[in-house]
Chain A
Amino acid sequence: GAGVSQSPSNKVTEKGKDVELRCDPISGHTALYWYRQRLGQGLEFLIYFQGNSAPDKSGLPSDRFSAERTGESVSTLTIQRTQQEDSAVYLCASSLAGGGPPLHFGNGTRLTVT
Chain B
Amino acid sequence: EDKVVQSPLSLVVHEGDTVTLNCSYEVTNFRSLLWYKQEKKAPTFLFMLTSSGIEKKSGRLSSILDKKELSSILNITATQTGDSAIYLCAVLSAGGTSYGKLTFGQGTILTVHP
Contact = CB atoms under 8 A, between A and B. Distances in A.
Partners in one complex: yes
Interface of A: 3-4, 31, 33, 35, 40-45, 48, 50, 53-54, 56, 58-59, 91, 95, 98-108
Contacts, number: 73
Contacts of A45: 101-104
B68 interface: no
Interface of B is mostly: strand
Interface string B53-75: 00000000000000000000000
A48 to B, nearest CB: 6
Nearest to B97: A56
Interface in B1-48: 4, 6, 32, 34, 41-45, 48
Given A43-B88, A91-B42, A106-B42, A101 B107 contact: no
Among B4, B96, B107, the most chain A Cβ lie within 10 Å of the Cβ of B107
Given A42-B105, A42-B106, A43-B104, A101 B98 contact: no
Contacts of B109: 40
A72 to B, nearest CB: 14
A105 B92 contact: no
B112 interface: no
Contacts of A98: 98-100
Interface of A is mostly: loop
Contacts of A50: 98-100
B94 interface: yes
B25 to A, nearest CB: 12
Given A41-B106, A42-B105, A58-B96, 5 more contacts: A42-B4, A42-B106, A45-B104, A101-B92, A102-B102
Contact of B32 (A35, A44, A59, A101): A101
A91 B38 CA distance: 12
A101 B102 contact: yes
A48 B104 contact: no
A42 B105 CA distance: 5
